[in-house]
Structure formats: structure tokens, C-alpha cells
Structure 1
């Protein structure tokens, strides 16, 4: 199953409209049997920046991403992958094409791409420590400062996201607009808008941290836009 990449305006709207199911500090662990399908265009309804994670290991599932259960383990054919659950699908259990291809064949999508539909699999929520290698800095989940605050503020300080998020002055999840710079939350007396070195949310072309998609079913790399 293929989905087109959202524009930065559409991504921002999706973030604002995202339903946040829980900010509890005591996450409910889930698991079960599912059918996973390939997704070849990176997006994130909660504003997670593709240039700061391994986009070949992402999950796009019917349930909304929440403040604790970000890391999920999916297994099929005797193989397993850990995925970051950063987007909400229209109903399918989509996963990154490369992850789907690996579960199907044991090979990466760029090495030996294949085609197919739903793959019988099982999943379980696992501790975020098991997905640390999917974060570029190994510690923080990076968000677009200009359009992720609805989700960030829904996560209490006791949740994993509340303790481990980072804000960047990058406008869209494909990292093509803005500045690759860390921002910070102000003191309450200064308001509630993130403070960055440059003006927040500018549509300045960003070319230093591209996000790559792997096309289904050819396995060809392209820059996400």
C-alpha cells in the first residue's frame, strides 16, 4: 500500500487535528496479530522529524501515536524489527517499505526489492530503550517546533515523550524547510512559543539534512519533499 508524502501545510494541519489518546505515565502494553503492509513515503501526524530518526523503521497504524508507547516490535517469518510509531494511517497497519521487505525476504528494499500485500505478523509494545538506535542522537525524539506543540503539550512531564522530546526549528517532517537548530521552551512568563535562534517557522529552503524515501516496488531512493 502506497501513500503520497504530505506537504508541510498538510502535515501541520494533521498535527493540529491529531487525537491524543493518553498522556498517562503508566502506559498500557499491547500486542497481538496483525497484517502489515508497505509504506514508502515518510510522514508523521505528530510532527516527528524524518531527518532525526531512521525513517526505514517507522510504523503508520490506525491508532494514534501516544506519549509512551512509541516503540513497537513486529515479527514475521522468524525475523523481527523495532519500529517508531509516529503516524496514524487510514486503517492499515503500514510499516516502512524497507522494514516490510526485510520481514518478507530477509533483505533490505534497496538490495532486493519485492512486491506484495499484507504480511501476517505479530506485534508488541516494547520499552523505548529498544528503539534508541533509531534516534539520531540515541536519546531524544525530535519534533518540528512550529507545528507539534498540540501533541507535546498533551504529554505530561512523567511520560516518555514529556521527558525526552527535542524541538527543532524545522517546519516540516520531511525536513525541507526551516533551520536545523535546537529550540527551547520559554519560562512561563515569556509565553508558550518555542524560542529558536532564527524566527520560528520560516519557509527557508533546508538542504543539509534530507530525508530519503525508498520507492515501492523498485527500491529506488529519492529525496522526500
Structure 2
């Protein structure tokens, strides 16, 4: 059928309008942009094949049959699939959370659409409401957005001195970056990227098919701690 109508008109102008895509469940939290899982709702994340950008970080996903929808943070790049957090997929498919009724299955047709990033502010848990980014390991993504001053991320971010996206090592402290006077890295109360002490588990995954929560894997020991 003409390559499924040219892949649904190039996925409806790359999500400017709703496009139907097969959506699959994703068990383990990750973020190629260096977004910190301990400061967002990791049960409401989208993992798309394209790179994370500085504006379109919020997507609306709608289950075609039921009409149920969720806004999700798009903060990771997948290997090719259109994945969403297992709990989000479970709710859209069944209307219930994974703790109530864990579902199994593969790709389910859903409509996806970019929506204003402010629509996902309720999923962010920082003191200033900005996207929480690892000051050291997320700096490349942050700086690409900082270089676009009008972008949403450049105007709404919080740099944090935590090493890893699952928040096992570092310091839970806010860093600053001005980009002036030749500055090329953030300034933090402790040394940028220092491991600090091992932090308690604050990021949890939900096991596919069982609904059991378990600590997200990460650094088993903090270097130099």
C-alpha cells in the first residue's frame, strides 16, 4: 500500500500532527540526554529512534481504541523502536497501572504527537521546574541547547552534580553555568563530576509481566568514595 502511505506521510511531518505508530513497552529507565531519573517520573518516558532535541521533549501518546492518552517526556534515543515506559504502556493498553494489572504484549498502534514542553512540567521534580541534567555527563546535550537560547531546555533546566542517570553517585546539588568569560563547564559546590558517597536507591524499574518494582541498575560503587 505504497509503503504504508509513505510511512504515514513521513510520520505526519515528524509528529507535528498525530501519527499512528506501533508502541512497545520499555522496562529499564535510561536517558541519552543525561536527564536524572531521580528528578522525573520515570514511569512517563518516551524512547524514540531520533535524537533528543531541545524543544520537542514532550509527546502525547493516545491509545487508538480506548482514547486514553498520556503526556510523556522524550529524553532518550532508542535503537529503532518506539518504546514508552512499561507502566505508561500498561495504562494506555488496559486503563490500569502495572501494580494493579501487569499486561504483556508487543507493539500496539497508538497516535503520537509533539506537544508543548510545558505539558510535561508535572513529570519534572526539580526546585525550579527545569529539566534535571547531570552537570558533567549530560553537559554535551545541555550545551547544545544552551547554544540555542530560545529553546525550551535553554530556558528551563537545572544542572545537578550527580554522575549517573540512575542517581547512584555524586552530590545532589545544583550547579551553575554562565557561558561567559571563557567558561566551558558548570560550577558546583563540590568538584564537578566527583563521585561523592553512594546514594540510596531512588530510581526504580518495573519488571515486565510481573509489575514488581526493583532498583534501577547503575554504578555498584562510586569511584573514589
TM-score interval (norm. to shorter):
0.7 to 0.9
1:151: which partner in 2?
Answer: 141
Question: Does the 8 Å CA contact 1:169/1:178 hold for their aligned counterparts?
Answer: yes
State the shift of 1:127 in Å: 0.8
1:116: which partner in 2?
Answer: 105
Gaps spanning 5+ residues in structure 2: where? 1-13, 218-225
Residue by residue, what CA displacement relative to the aligned partner does 1:164-206 show, whole Å, maximum 9, x if unpaired? Answer: 0110000010001101000001462262111111111122344
2:120: which partner in 1?
Answer: 131
Gaps spanning 5+ residues in structure 1: where? 1-26
State the shift of 1:28 in Å: 8.0
Question: Does the 8 Å CA contact 1:175/1:206 hold for their aligned counterparts?
Answer: no
1:44: which partner in 2?
Answer: 31
2:165: which partner in 1?
Answer: 173
1:194: which partner in 2?
Answer: 186
CA RMSD, Structure 1 to Structure 2 (Å): 1.7
Query: 1:28 and 1:95 mapped to 2: Cα distance?
Result: 16
Residue by residue, what CA displacement relative to the aligned partner does 1:27-72 show, whole Å, maximum 9, x if unpaired? Answer: 9835311011000100000100001110000000111110100000
Say which of 192, 195, 219 aligns to 1:203: 195
1:140: which partner in 2?
Answer: 130
Structure possessing the higher radius of gyration over alpha carbons: 2
State the shift of 1:217 in Å: 1.3
SS at match of 2:181: helix
1:213: which partner in 2?
Answer: 205
Query: 1:153 and 1:201 mapped to 2: Cα distance?
Result: 16
Say which of 80, 94, 101 aligns to 2:83: 94
Which structure's relative contact order is higher, taking Cα pairs within 8 Å and 6+ residues apart? 1
Question: Does the 8 Å CA contact 1:186/1:195 hold for their aligned counterparts?
Answer: no
Query: 1:37 and 1:28 mapped to 2: Cα distance?
Result: 17
The within-5 A match list for 1:26-41 is 29-41=16-28
Which one is further off, 73-82 or 206-215? 206-215
SS at match of 1:188: coil
Say which of 27, 43, 59 aligns to 1:72: 59
Query: 1:28 and 1:100 mapped to 2: Cα distance?
Result: 19
Query: 1:224 and 1:169 mapped to 2: Cα distance?
Result: 19
Query: 1:30 and 1:172 mapped to 2: Cα distance?
Result: 34
Question: Does the 8 Å CA contact 1:35/1:121 hold for their aligned counterparts?
Answer: yes
Query: 1:205 and 1:190 mapped to 2: Cα distance?
Result: 31
